[in-house]
Structures are given as C-alpha cells and as structure tokens.
Structure 1
Amino acid sequence: MRRRWRLERAAAEADVAAAVDVAPILHRLAVLLEAGIAPDRAWEHLAASGDPASRRVHDRRQSGAPLTDAIAAEPGVWHEVAAAWHVATTVGAPLARTLRGMAEALRDAEAARDDIRVALAEPTATARLVAWLPLVAVALALTLGFDVLATLRHPVGAACLVVGALLMVGAHVWTRRLVARARPGGGVPGTSAELLAIALSGGVSIGRAEEVLASVDVSPADADRDVLDLSTSAGVPAVDLLRATAELERHRARIEGRMRAAHLTSRLLLPLGVCTLPAFLLIGVAPMLLSTTTSASVTL
C-alpha cells in the first residue's frame, strides 16, 4: 500500500517535472521558427543541443513517424502540445505564436501546481507524523519497562493489537485518499479554449475549428461555446476572448486547488479522531494497562 502511494507520488512529480521542462523547449522552438528554420530542422537543432525529449522526438521523426505523433508519444503535457501543433498546422495558424502561447499556459499551470503543493505540504506532513503515534506509544511503553510483548499472549492484548493495526491501516488509506483528492489533476486547465483560439486564429470558421478540435479528441467546453455565442452576437473576434477564458480557467484551477488544500487541514482530523487515536489507545495504552493488571495478579 505504501509502495503504491509512493508510485502515485512519483508519477505526479514526474508529470510536474515534465511540465517544467516543456515550456523552455517550446519557447526555443518558437524562436527558431521565427528565425525561418523549418520545424524538422528546429527539432534537430534542439536534439543536437542535448535535450532528451527533443532527441526522442527527432529520432521518431527520423524513423518515419508524423511529427505530431512523434510529439504525442512523449508523456505528460506533451499530448496537449501535440494537439496544439496539429491544430495550428491544419488550419495554417502561426506556429511560433502557438508555441509561445502553449509555453505561457504551461507556466501558468505549473505556477498553480506549485501554490497547491506548498499549501498541501504542512497538512500532509502532519498527517504522516501523527500516523506513527501508536508505534511511538509502544516504544515509550517498552522504554518505561512495561512488558508489552508479553501481553500479546493474552486474548485481550492480541485483540487490541489486531484492531489497532486495522485502524492504523484504515487511517493510512483514508488519509491517502484525502490527500489525493486535494492534489491538482493532470493536464492544463483551459486547453479546449486555447486550442479553439489557435484554430480560429488560422482564419477558419467556427464549424471548421470544431472539426479540427474533434480530430484531436477535444470538444469545446460550455464556457467556450458561451464565448463563441458572445462573439457572434457582438460581431467581435473570438480569439482574444477565448484566450482570456483559458487564463480565467487556469486562475480558477489555482484558487480551487488552494481551497482544497485549506479544507484538507480540517478533513485530516477525521481519520485522526476515528482511527489514529483509538489505535493509539489499543496499541499503546491498553497493553500497558493489561501488563500492569497481569503483574498485579501474579503478585497476588
């Protein structure tokens, strides 16, 4: 169970690290493209500079894979990058500007994840520390000279140990789920609005833009459709409105993440009161009382 939790944390941290590395790569690509370098040649330059992700993309491209498929084969947020690349090249939108916009979106999303991780650090560390409280009580009892291990041969002592261990496991699972719910999800908030803005910046119609998004398994959100309706009724371009909507969604994701982290502090009191403290009494206090009672009975 602990191993599974660590694997999940490692996967989440790997996605975060990938997001941190992607934004500079996209910015460099945008600079190379603005200088008039062809896309394949730009990837080759980045691969030659020693960037591992660019090298893998270039190797897949050399093996005959389409460029968008070569990009999408990378883990984490590279899928969103591949979708943006496909949309831009399909509708003829400026690719360099698209990459700059995606780099800014990734930086915003990463800043939001940083805020949430900082807010989660203290309650998560406290929960892990408190989870060891029953075992600390056992160590304290042994230090004070109580024959705790001998009480395990008593039916009541064995029952206390089993129930206390089950409560500790329950507290661990409960805490892990609470923390997992409070952590930020994967992906980049506002992706559909960002991709729709990229498609419309190529000068295509709204219907064609939705078709291109459907080709990368993305459909406009309700907020995106509201923006499109506003653009149509007011007769104004929808691109800037959609990009503003994407920024708003990333801002909301940051605020919601902070709120989840704030609520986590109080929610972690539930496994503490329901599981950890009873386990402390059963594993730490009850054996000491039983040891005292047994010693008194033997003396008499």
Structure 2
Amino acid sequence: MTRRRPKGRGLRSRRSLPAAGPDAGTILRLAVLLQAGIAPAAAWHHLAAAGDGSAAAVSTRIEAGAGVAAAVRAQGSAWAAVAAAWRIAETVGAPLAASLRGIASALDDGERSRAEVRVALAEPAGTARLMSWLPLVGVGLGAALGFDTLRTLAATPAGIACAIAGLALIFTARRWSSALVRRADPDDAVPGMGADLLAIALSGGVSIERAQRIVGDAGGAQLDAETRGILTLSRSAGVPAAELLRAGATLARHRARTDGRLRAARLSSRLLIPLGVCTLPAFLLLGVAPMLLSVLSATPLTL
C-alpha cells in the first residue's frame, strides 16, 4: 500500500523512514507471526530482518526498552490507530492477531478508497493544469501568425497593461484550481477506525462504558454520532455491539468512497469557474489583444 511521500524522501534509505504510514501488508504479516505463537517483540524483529523499514524502527525502540505500543506510536501520527489497537488488545485481553487482522483490513480498505478517489480526481485536475497554459499558447500562436506580440506586450503601454493583467489572471486561475483540487482530495484518515477500535475493546468482554474509557486512554478518536447510535441500538436490542460496530465501520468506508467519487464529479464542473473567470480572459489579454494592437499600430491613420 502506497502512502503520500514528503519531498526528498526518495534520497533516504528504507531503514530511515520511520514517519511512513502503516502498510496493511506489514500489519497482516505481523498478525500471522503472532498467531503462530511468536512473541510480539520477536515478531517485529523478524519483520525487520526481512527488510521492513518500519518494523526495523519499531524493533530498535523495543530493544532500547520501549513497550511495543509506545514503540509503534513513536512512528508518527499515521501509526496512532495501530498503536491504539495494540494497547487496547493488551488491556482487555483481546486476541492480538485477530485485532491486527481487522486493522490491516481497515487500512487496506481505506487506502483502496483513497486510491479510487484520486484516480477519479486525476482527469479534471490534469485538464485544469493543461488549460492553464492556454494564454501562453495564445502568445506563441500570435507570433506564429506573424504578429510581433512579444514586442507589443513588452514595449507598448497598452501591451504592458495586458501582460500584467494576463499574468495575474493566470496566477489566480492556477491558485484557484489548485485550491479546488486540494479541497476534493481525500485525507489520510481511515473512516470508521474509531468504531473498529471500540469493537476490539468490546471483544475482550468488557462493558461498553469501560471499552469507551479504554479506547480514549489508548488515544483512539472520539465517538461520532453514528457510533453512538450503534451503541444505543445495541443496548435497546440486547445484541453484541462489536459486530454492529465492525459493520458500521465498513459502511463508513463505503460512504467515504462514494462521497469521494461525488466530489470528483463536482470538481469537473467547479473547475469551469476559474477557466471562465480567469483563463479565458487571460488568453484574450495575452493572445488576442497584442494581435489587435499590432494591427492598429501598423495601420496608418487617415483623415
């Protein structure tokens, strides 16, 4: 599973990347090792020996005396859910391997959802970047047609005014389009993770109230309205809440995927606004206006 990478990260070795987000494959392999009876610290060590950079960082901290959950949390905020799940499972005595399998599934589902949304966003975002070059293409087109557009834009008062206004509009259009794309781009949070963590706590046999306290102490997210509704349903119907919570978490990720696709569809229409307000006027100022000014300057005035 691929995560966003900061600039310059490709210059570092794999073992020096503790800030990377958790990989579902790493968590799943860890669950298999634990299920086979390997101790948690040894499981991280085996993963590190196999070349997993994140596991190497965790294993180093464990060897230095840190607890497993603390060593995982030190990986950065992206690993908070994994660290919380580990601490919750240890606190309530829930099967750690099964808990990690659930977290791995949630991480994989969340990443698939983000990937689908970003693929859907790629086309309108690429079109916006391409159209932002249209005004500069107009300058080249005027020169290709034999008009001295560059001299007009650089040496005449009207041309300089057109150049300044056109470049300002290009800058505004690019910033505006980038802001629209960023707003539509999904974040790295995994929807439904709070419900998954609470389900791990409840699988240890504790009460709902104690499970909520344990999740909060482990650094889990605050319960949202939907999760509280699931707990209310569990109490009123007298059914176990853990499976309801897992189903609710899966549904939350499905809704996030659908919402992301809708954002991508709306983005195509919204990007037409900076195109019409900024890009097309910039094309007229940088491409069409210099040609007209060149024609007017070359035409002798007759009385």
> Do these two structures clear the TM 0.5 threshold for a shared fold by scoring above it?
yes
Quick check: 1:210–1:219 contact (8 Å CA) kept in 2? no
Show CA shifts across 1:143-177 (max 9, x none): 22211122122111111111111110110011001
Q: Which has the higher helix share?
A: 1
Aligned residue number for residue 45 of structure 1: 46
The letter for the 1-side match of 2:132 is A
Aligned residue number for residue 183 of structure 1: 185
| Cα displacement (A) at 1:191 | 0.9
Aligned residue number for residue 247 of structure 1: 250
Alignment counterpart, residue 163 of structure 2, candidates 161, 164, 168: 161
What SS does structure 2 have at the residue aligned with 1:203? coil
Q: CA RMSD in A?
A: 2.0
Aligned residue number for residue 170 of structure 1: 172
Quick check: 1:134–1:279 contact (8 Å CA) kept in 2? yes
- What TM-score results when the alignment is normalised by the length of structure 2? 0.90
Quick check: 1:131–1:172 contact (8 Å CA) kept in 2? yes
For 1:65 and 1:289, locate their aligned partners in 2 and report how far apart those are by CA, in whole Å: 73
Matches within 5 A, 1:1-300: 10-11=5-6, 22-75=23-76, 77-151=78-152, 152-215=154-217, 216-297=219-300
Show CA shifts across 1:183-208 (max 9, x none): 11121100110011011111111111
Quick check: 2:194–2:220 contact (8 Å CA) kept in 1? no
For 2:63 and 2:5, locate their aligned partners in 1 and report how far apart those are by CA, in whole Å: 31
The percentage of aligned residue pairs carrying the same residue is 55
Quick check: 2:45–2:56 contact (8 Å CA) kept in 1? yes
Quick check: 1:60–1:70 contact (8 Å CA) kept in 2? yes
Show CA shifts across 1:94-133 (max 9, x none): 1100110011111111111121112111111111100000
For 1:248 and 1:220, locate their aligned partners in 2 and report how far apart those are by CA, in whole Å: 16
Identify which range, 69-78 or 196-205, moves more after superposition.
Answer: 69-78
Shift of the 139–299 alpha-carbon distance from structure 1 to 2, 3 Å rule, reads farther
The letter for the 1-side match of 2:233 is L
For 1:59 and 1:297, locate their aligned partners in 2 and report how far apart those are by CA, in whole Å: 82
Show CA shifts across 1:234-291 (max 9, x none): 1110000000000000000000000000001111100000000000000111111111
Quick check: 1:178–1:268 contact (8 Å CA) kept in 2? yes
What SS does structure 1 have at the residue aligned with 2:210? helix
For 2:199 and 2:226, locate their aligned partners in 1 and report how far apart those are by CA, in whole Å: 13
| Cα displacement (A) at 1:11 | 4.4
For 2:261 and 2:75, locate their aligned partners in 1 and report how far apart those are by CA, in whole Å: 29
The letter for the 1-side match of 2:174 is H
Aligned residue number for residue 3 of structure 1: none
Count of aligned residue pairs for this structure pair: 288
Identify which range, 190-199 or 64-73, moves more after superposition.
Answer: 64-73
- What TM-score results when the alignment is normalised by the length of structure 1? 0.91
Shift of the 75–199 alpha-carbon distance from structure 1 to 2, 3 Å rule, reads same
**Structure 2 gap segments, 5+ residues each:** 10-19
Quick check: 2:139–2:150 contact (8 Å CA) kept in 1? no
Quick check: 2:142–2:149 contact (8 Å CA) kept in 1? yes
Quick check: 1:76–1:187 contact (8 Å CA) kept in 2? no
Quick check: 2:197–2:220 contact (8 Å CA) kept in 1? no
| Cα displacement (A) at 1:66 | 2.4
For 1:299 and 1:253, locate their aligned partners in 2 and report how far apart those are by CA, in whole Å: 68
